[in-house]
Amino acid sequence: MKRNLLMLLVLVFLSNLANSQSNPVKFVRYSSENQESFGILEGDVIRELQGDLFSDPVPTGKTVAVSAIKLLPPCKPSKVLAVGLNYRSHIGDRPIPDHMGLFAKYPTCVIAHNDPIMMPVDATDLHYEGELVVVIGKTASKVSVAQAQEYIFGVTAGNDVSERNWQKIDLQWLRAKGSDTFGPIGPAITTGLDYDNLMLQTRLNGDVVQSESSKDLIYSVDEIVSYISHYVTLLPGDVIFTGTPGSTQAMHPGDIVEIELEGVGILSNPVEMAKKN
């Protein structure tokens, strides 16, 4: 009886943490001893959770050091969606779009913190795009802007890797945006943040190459979620890349690109050349 009561109190505590704007919580997905788990990241320690992240997981009482595990992508999305041209600083001389420009990546493009971005052998102009990424927490269909926050679990950092020449010559952006390893996300999903005012910074080999706040998004996070949900049903774990600020430049094998999102952490990925078949 006491054990059940204690577990209930812990669950209530976790629920309050996950939904409180003043108590951000970092959730991670990781592999340890050939087992995948979700957990709460606290400094250099992860507190293990049992069950699905989006269905009231139960704390097991176990902890593990970050140094002893491998971080995985923080969720396994059924869909990876994205918004283009969503910062004025990225649009440049082009007119501001009068509607939201959407495109899709693929779940197979998603990789984790520290995993390598593999540059295809026939790629010639591979760019980083640091972005705030929204993680959906429950099924959303035709929700209003005012309701959107209820369906957002949290945010993470992402890199919308893009092959610029393929963007120009292909009928659609299947290769340019959706190739394997072109969607790093992580290292954690953070709940309880003011996602309308988070600093985003991209560094290439330690040099700052992008730096802007999500308050400068043309279409806000809530507007994005609402708009997409009127055409595509969003499911728990689905992710939405919200757009990249400023300009981008090419990455090359040997480079390291870091995306730092305020309150989330640093997503770091090396660039490597894929092997020829």
pLDDT tens column, 134-169: 999 999 999 999 999 999 999 999 999 999 999 999
Domain boundaries, the chain: 2-72, 80-273
Going by C-alpha positions, the residue among 14, 29, 83, 17 that lies closest to residue 237 is 29
At residue 46, does pLDDT exceed 50? yes
Helix residue ranges, H only, the chain: 2-19, 88-91, 164-169, 174-178, 221-229
Going by C-alpha positions, the residue among 243, 259, 235, 76 that lies closest to residue 158 is 259
Is the pTM of the predicted complex or chain greater than 0.95? no
Residue 152 CA to residue 69 CA, distance in Å, equals 27
Q: Bridge partners of 199?
A: 213
Q: Identify the residue whose tokens are 């795009």.
A: 129
pLDDT, residue 2, reads 44
pLDDT, residue 3, reads 52
Query: Which residues are within 8 A (CB) of 274 and not within 5 positions of it... i.e. 6 or more apart?
Result: 118, 119, 120, 121
At residue 32, does pLDDT exceed 70? yes
2-72 has which fold? Answer: SH3 type barrels. (2.30.30)
At residue 241, does pLDDT exceed 90? yes
pLDDT, residue 22, reads 60
Q: What is the mean pLDDT of residues 122-144?
A: 98
pLDDT > 70: percent of the chain: 92
Q: Enter the tokens of residue 32.
A: 């340890």
Residue 236 CA to residue 152 CA, distance in Å, equals 9
Going by C-alpha positions, the residue among 24, 53, 14 that lies closest to residue 36 is 53
Under CATH, to which class is 80-273 assigned?
Answer: alpha beta
At residue 270, does pLDDT exceed 90? yes
Read off the pLDDT band of 17 (50, 70, 90): very low
Examine domains 2-72 and 80-273 and report if their fold is the same: no
Residue 4 CA to residue 269 CA, distance in Å, equals 42
Residue at 124: amino acid letter = T
Higher pLDDT, 1 or 153: 153
Look over the chain and give the mean of its residue pLDDT values, rounded to a whole number: 93
The predicted-structure confidence for 59-97, as pLDDT tens digits, reads as follows 999 999 999 999 999 999 999 999 999 999 999 888 888
Q: Enter the tokens of residue 231.
A: 């055409």
Terminal alpha carbon distance of the chain: 61
Q: Identify the residue whose tokens are 């954690």.
A: 188
